[in-house]
Structure 1
Amino acid sequence: MKRHARRTTLIATAIAATLPITAHAVRIGYTLDTGIERNDNVTLSETAQVEQDIFRAGLGFAITQESSTVQARVSGRLDHRRYEDIYASATERMLNGRFNWMVVPDRLGLVVEDSYGVQTIDRFEPDSPNNRQQINVLSLGPDFHFNVGGTLRGRAELRFINSNAEVTQDFNSDRIAAALRMVKDLDATSALSFNLQMQDVDFDNNRFARDHKRYEGYASYTSRLNRLDLLLDAGYARLDYDDGQSRNNPLLRAEVGWRMSERSRFRVNAANQFSDAATNALTAIAGAPPGIPGSVLTGRSTITPSAYEQRSAIIGYEYTGVRTTYSIFGNTQKIDYVDPGSSNQESRGFATQLSYRLRPSLTIRGAASRDRTEAAPPVSRIEHNRLYSLGLEKQWSRRWSSSLQYNRYERTSTIATGEFKQNVIYLSIAYTNR
């Protein structure tokens, strides 16, 4: 890991440590786990498979704070793997967090956000240990709150954003972002807002990335009813490049959540917008699942400095019962990069999960996902990924548990070197403080 790649995460941690958090209001949870993995294809190769036993140890944590002065939500994890050979022992890390410190109540806040995790170096190559890198995106700056009168309130935001990649260094950049938002409360359950945003992107290496400014203006309507949640954004976005080129695009986003009953929920998300890898990392912080991370997941997005036009849709259903929990989601996405040299992509897929509590202390879990991705030149290919898992979890006491899990991963591709099959069996034991 290069020193600069760690620096921004350490900065975020140091800033967070200075926040005035009252001890009794902080909730800290952590999990220590260790286990042995049997992997029949560590290199993810179709022709040169290597079978190994891998020792694993991990630490996951979640910190939350909710008070009138500080709102904080931070989760992270360390995963250490010791291989028999082929690869050196490695420790992968992830951290997602947001702090909001109200320096002056109802007037001035300091916001720190950090997204630190693992991504593939080459999206189109197998996710083997030598095809991973640490990515960090740090955002910090003030929020200025003001009241215009009655039910109309405003917020001005200013952010410094630093993005850094361990290997893909043309991703590295410094950004200044500003926003002005006016919110009108229509009633107790709905609001209308008007938003102006600007981002000035300055890449470290201009030979591989073009400096540019992004402007966005949109109106937003939100409604929170007993059973129905609704968010609609509509506006326009523009990219202005320092070389004189520009690109315009409508900005449309919609989220609909319908609580069909106390135990079931249906939701739809759709978007047509400009984005990039750094912006997407910060946006994902708000949508990160609550609780202690169970593993450091390797992202499958393409880490490139280029902005892109994103058209996406997700539809899903979730059910949470007394003994049974399950979900099913389908998605489709098209990414059109602005800069030449990046491969435009179209993908679609679905994922489903099911858990059933056999006894109060014994749960069986299963999951399956399939997706298809088509990449345009200069990297033309079509690939299909299939992942299946089955696990059994035993709760020995309030804090001690163990699990046995089987995973199967398959990939087929129009490029012969991109095909492989992998089977993994993992036996672990864990201690949780809560």
Structure 2
Amino acid sequence: MPASTRLAQAIVIGLTVAPTAVLAGTFDYTLYGGIEHSNNIALSSDRPLSENVLTPGGTFQFTQLGSTFQANVAGTFEHRKYLENHFDSQTQTQFGAQANWTIAPERLDFSVEDYAGVQPVDQLSADSPDNQQQTNVIVLGPTLRMRFGDAARGQFELRYINSYASKVDEFDSSRGMAAFRVYRDLSPTDQLSGNVEFQRVGFTHQPSTADYDRKEAFVRYTSTLAHFDADVLVGGTRLSFDQGRSTSAPVVRLQVGWQPTLRNALTVAGAYQYADAAQDLITTPGAYGAGLTADRAEAIDPFANTGGLGRGATGTGIGVGSAVIGSEVYKERRLEATWNWRGERLTMTVSPALNKLSYLDDPTFDQTGRGLSVGIGYRLNPTLTLSGFATYDRVTYDTLSRKDNTVRLGLDLGKQINRHWSWHASVARERRTSDAVGQSYREAEFFIGVVYRR
């Protein structure tokens, strides 16, 4: 196991098991377990395998905002035991962690970030259990802070970044990043910053010609109001490859949130940028990574998230992403939105998404993706809730003349027994139609399980 992965696990374990008296933070967790049945566990077009899966797992969230230590750690862990032995057992983890130690107040900090998730081995194949892998990206290093008067300040950052995938070696990389930033407070709620970044990217298992330098300069505006928030970044990126080629493009990243009433909330996020799989998993401003499925960890009740994208909505807390795990750089165009409405008994979520990836060297994975998810929950009585979801994803591969259309529908019935315990029963159907031979399939899933919430 790489040293960076062991370090990431040690950080998360340390945060989750440390006594709250020492860390003085807030720690919440959920434990769950159940049985899932699939009539086509391998998502085969012509040879369906029936399988029962035991799925114990849990979610956790740790938050601390202290004078010397600040942290926000949230994630899910799960063990999948295939009772018919069609596949080997799997233990999967999905989390996002940010921690900061203040060594010298207003002078020197040391920060650690870690992003772990489950991604496909081969994006052109279905998300069967043998087409999944664990990925991890860790970012750590010091920050030197300085002040230029009452309203302006600066900081110099040094970061070491390591990316690792359990099956695809081309993803493994070590990166060094240096950045200088100057911040100006426009008001108590608005801030403007100028940023210059330099990053050296070296791949562990690739020829040295794949290595490159990334230079980026941008301005960033943030605003945090009672019912509106915005994070907008505009600038430019230049990539210089060791093979002698250079290319430049604008960079734009944004996330805007609006809550006009207590019942309504709207979030819009997007990006236009050069990225690779590791870079995108770090810098994506919204809730999604390089594809249309959720890649970032969220501490959620795994059974209540029936409106989420991706497989696993009927019982598992970990969804499989759709990033093309490898070393190639692509130009990414992405736009997504999420609208939430919450009433006394009825809740609704609608989330459209659009993205386009254009690879610089190998156009095999050039693609355009469109997606829409709708989730509805209705509280039948104070302790019984019925939820339903529908998702539609369409991915077009430009050079392969291939289109994949995936529709997923599901229902979940949840009963709150008391403050800590609840049970859930779920059913879902998924259908994919594809131009590629052997990639169309149908699947039905059933799940029943219990949840313990701290």
| Alignment TM-score, normalising by the size of structure 2 | 0.89
Listed as ranges, the gaps of 5+ residues in structure 1 are: none
1:384-399 equivalences in 2 (<5 Å): 384-399=405-420
Q: Distance in 2 between matches of 1:292 and 1:72?
A: 18
Q: 1:150 to 1:134 in 2, by over 3 A?
A: same
Question: After the TM superposition, which segments of 4 or more aligned residues of structure 1 sit over 4 Å from their partners?
Answer: 18-22, 284-290
| Match 2:451 to one of 426, 430, 434 | 430
Secondary structure at the aligned position of 1:416 is classed as: coil
1:12 pairs with one of 8, 32, 53? 8
Q: What root-mean-square deviation, in Å, do the aligned CA atoms of Structure 1 and Structure 2 show? A: 2.1
Shift of 1:299: 1.1
* Paired position in structure 1 for 2:299: 291
**How far apart in 1 are the matches of 2:23 and 2:158?**
31
Amino acid of the structure 2 residue aligned with 1:71? Q
Partner Cα separation in structure 2 for residue 198 and residue 426 of structure 1: 48
In structure 2, C-alpha distance between the alignment counterparts of 1:221 and 1:56, rounded to whole Å: 43
Other-structure match for 1:108: 108
The structure whose residues are more often strand, as a share, is: 1
Number of equivalent positions: 428
- Structure 2 equivalent of residue 367 of structure 1: 389
State the match for 1:41 in structure 2: 40
Measured in 1, the distance between the counterparts of 2:254 and 2:318 equals 30
Structure 1 residues 285 and 401, CA, compared in 2 at 3 Å: closer, same or farther?
A: farther
Determine if contact 2:254/2:285 at 8 Å carries over to the other structure.
no
Alpha-carbon deviation of 1:285?
8.9
- Structure 1 distance, partners of 2:123, 2:372, is 19
Range with bigger deviation, 51-60 or 210-219: 51-60
Residue 95 of structure 1: CA displacement?
2.9
User: Does the aligned pair in 2 maintain the 1:137–1:162 contact within 8 Å?
Assistant: yes
Is 1:249 matched with 2:229? no
Q: Is the CA contact (8 Å cut-off) linking 1:57 and 1:81 kept in structure 2? A: yes
What percentage of aligned pairs have identical amino acids?
Answer: 34
The alpha-carbon distance between structure 1 residues 266 and 15, as it changes in their structure 2 partners (threshold 3 A), is closer
Query: Which residue, out of 327, 333, 356, partners 1:311?
Result: 333
CA distance in 1, matches of 2:285, 2:133: 19
Which residue of the partner structure matches residue 358 of structure 2? 336
Report deviation, 1:292: 4.2
State whether structure 2 residue 209 is matched by structure 1 residue 199.
Answer: no
1:67 matched to 2:88: no
Structure 1 residue 315 displacement after superposition: 2.6
**1:257 shift after superposition:** 2.0
- 1:375-404 superposed Cα distances (whole Å, 9 cap, x missing partner): 133x44110111111101101111111000
More displaced stretch, 191-200 vs 264-273: 264-273
User: Which residue of the partner structure matches residue 90 of structure 1?
Assistant: 90
1:240 aligns with 2:262: no
Kept in 1: contact 2:256–2:268 (CA 8 A): yes
Query: Contact 1:61 / 1:293 at 8 angstroms: preserved in 2?
Result: no
Question: Residues 182-205 of structure 1, C-alpha deviation per residue, up to 9 Å, x if partnerless?
Answer: 111111221211111111001112
CA deviations over 1:354-379 (Å, ceiling 9, x no partner): 112111111111111101111133x4
TM-aligned CA deviation for residue 291 of structure 1: 3.0
Distance 1:76 1:150 in 2: 38
- How far apart are 1:21 and its partner, in Å? 7.5
Q: Which amino acid in 1 is paired with 2:299?
A: G
Q: TM-score, normalised by structure 1?
A: 0.93
